Amino acid sequence: MYSAEDIQNFLVLHLAKLINVTAEEIDPTENIENYGLHSAQAVVLVSQLEQLLGFQPSPRLLWNYPSIASISQRLAEDLITDSPQLPVLDLGAEVVLDPTIRPSAAYQGDVGAAKHIFLTGGTGYLGAFIIRDLLQKTPADIYCLVRAGSVKEAQEKLHKNLQSYSLWQEEFSSRIIPVVGDLSQPLLGMGAEQFQVLAGRIDAIYHSAALLNYVYPYSALKVANVLGTQEVLRLACLGQVKPVHYVSSVAVFESPFYAGKVVREQDEFEHWQGIYLGYSQTKWVAEKLVKVARDRGVPVTIYRPPLISGDSKTGICNTHDFINLMVKGCLQMGSFPDVDYMLDMSPVDYVSQAVVYLSRQQTSLGKAFHLQHPQPVALRSLVDWMSSFGLAVKLIPYEKWQAELISNAISVENPLYTLRPFLLERWSDRQLTIPDLYLQAHRPVISCEETLKALAGSSIVCPPLDIQLLLTYTSYLVKSGFLSLA
């Protein structure tokens, strides 16, 4: 039987190896989040615990305790009681917006005439494309929140991110203005004076930033995703009220209550029970806060994308997102699970262009829009297309695929190794895995009819999920070195 001290020493040693520091530099009482672990490293740490304990703790249990000391104590207790308990979470009780956040007067402006735009998420994937489209479609200067040590470092981060997606255009550089701050800090990491100055300068806000991690629970993501949204709403109400364009997610409808039901853009989402991923839970609460602000008079527009795929023209994408990791891992295994799953991902250029266009229409204020792909295709179609290219890949029953995953994805060389907890673990009261939770029978039907009508006056059309788009994506993934089809 291992003591809490034994487990703590083990975790300190392996965390130090993961982040390339000495064990002496690890403070067991420090919040693990502050060490910058991403999902893959977290799963590796969990897997190493299996070597010590003889079983693999749930990532949910691991990340519901903020420090190595608290994790070690919890695991030591579990070894004695053999009954691990997760903290009870009531998402409804989390929807509390600071009562001081309310506009002093009604909004009288024109959403299409913004000259100074504040944007969060500019160093992320979707945020980079939103910057590109705002620069092309508006004359506005874009003030981008960046976590950095200096304005110069923030500028370099923005430049590097835009360049990585081939979006950098030198002629627009003077209109991209870095703002050093932190979404997870009060007043967005700025002093009160700078916060006030920024509030007086900007006339629109695009809140695209969110901490996305498939391992972290609600408690670890709340500060950035929920409290960060509150600070954005505070900025909107300081001085003259400013419209907020909030990028939410179709994940707000992940409760089993909506399974099989059609959910439309303006439908309410009161049910949260059964939403299991921490990220999805934070998006539910954060959008609720945005709606509370809307009811107080803040002009808001909400955009709910699904999983976001690559640029439909260039194929450029985030190679470390869930979609690409799954495809690469399954290709390495030579098999995909035969599950009733629909690919409803939307190309990033469609999402960003739709956000920018809709945000500039006065009729959009107060509404929500679904950026779901209007014509999703079955996962089986993707496998059929791959087979038609001569790739040795097949569909096999999910239980058999799980067994092959356990046997074959045994190191970080296979991207599925880092996703094993989500593909194998039973997450819900009904003992379903993540793929089970996303089967068509357990999902809502996301209607985007109203959104398509709102886009009808533009040239913005969601590209079909066909062989041509797949070829575009595959070409980029091979050219970038992410995939090898040899």
- At residue 38 the predicted structure's pLDDT band, cuts being 50, 70 and 90, is low
Nearest to 189 by CA among 222, 235, 156: 235
Beta carbons of 230 and 97 less than 8 angstroms apart: yes
- At residue 61 the predicted structure's pLDDT band, cuts being 50, 70 and 90, is low
pLDDT at 426 (0 to 100):
66
pLDDT tens digit sequence for 439-469? 777 789 999 999 999 999 899 999 999 999 9
pLDDT at 427 (0 to 100):
59
Residue 88 vs residue 238, higher pLDDT: 238
Percent of the chain with pLDDT over 90: 58
pLDDT tens digit sequence for 286-295? 999 999 999 9
pLDDT tens digit sequence for 192-225? 999 999 999 999 999 999 988 766 778 878 999 9
Q: Is 394 helix (H, G, I), strand (E, B) or coil?
A: strand
Q: Which domains does the chain have, with CATH numbers?
A: 4-81 (1.10.1200.10), 101-312+345-370 (3.40.50.720), 322-343+376-443+466-479 (no CATH)
- At residue 408 the predicted structure's pLDDT band, cuts being 50, 70 and 90, is confident
Q: Is the pLDDT of residue 113 over 70?
A: yes
- At residue 43 the predicted structure's pLDDT band, cuts being 50, 70 and 90, is low
Token pair for residue 26? Answer: 């690890």
Residue 31 vs residue 172, higher pLDDT: 172
pLDDT at 47 (0 to 100):
66
Helices (H), 124-202: 125-137, 151-164, 192-201
Q: Is the pLDDT of residue 472 over 80?
A: yes
Return mean pLDDT, the chain: 88
pLDDT at 366 (0 to 100):
96
Over range 243-265, report the average pLDDT. 95
What one-letter code names the amino acid at 162?
Answer: L
Over range 14-38, report the average pLDDT. 80
Q: Is the pLDDT of residue 82 over 60?
A: no
Beta carbons of 356 and 341 less than 8 angstroms apart: no
Report residue 439 CA to chain centroid gap.
Answer: 20
pLDDT at 486 (0 to 100):
65
The CA distance from 50 to 192, in Å, is: 47
Helices (H), 224-271: 228-237
Question: String of b and e for 420-439 (b: at least 16 CB within 10 Å)?
Answer: bbbbbeebeeeebbbbbbeb
Residue 304 vs residue 388, higher pLDDT: 304
The CA distance from 206 to 130, in Å, is: 9
